[in-house]
Amino acid sequence: LPPPHAYRDPCLWVGRLGGQLAMEPKRWFALGTISASFLWFFGLALLAAWLAPRLRTAKAQRIINILVGVVMWLIAFQLAREGVAHMHALFN
């Protein structure tokens, strides 16, 4: 089950945009958003089915783990740098 914001955000933003249209364009807008949503999620499902066997290998999992580790270290360094800058600004 997707998180609640997966429903809330598109409904609010797309609904707000569609609500500004007259009736005839609103129908086309609704048809377009439904079609785009269907294509998006169908495409995600196809991509997941295609990627699943490729990501089950030990090499792929090792690469993913390394990439996640690098991203986590980059975030940690960025947070530390901002923390040091904030502390420096507080005491100077």
For 26-40, the pLDDT digits (tens) are 888 888 888 988 999
Between CA 67 and CA 72 the distance in angstroms is: 9
Q: How confident is the model at residue 70 (pLDDT cuts 50, 70, 90)?
A: very high
- Of the chain, the end-to-end C-alpha distance in Å amounts to 50
Alpha-carbon 48 to chain mean position: 15
Measured between alpha carbons, how far is 24 from 1 in angstroms, rounded to an integer?
A: 34
CA distance 92 to 88: 6
Which of 32, 7, 2, 5 lies closest to 17, judged by CA? 32
Place of tokens 């429903």: 7
Place 58 in a pLDDT band, splitting at 50, 70 and 90: very high
Confidence check: pLDDT of 15 > 70: yes
Domain parsing of the chain, residue ranges: 1-56, 57-92
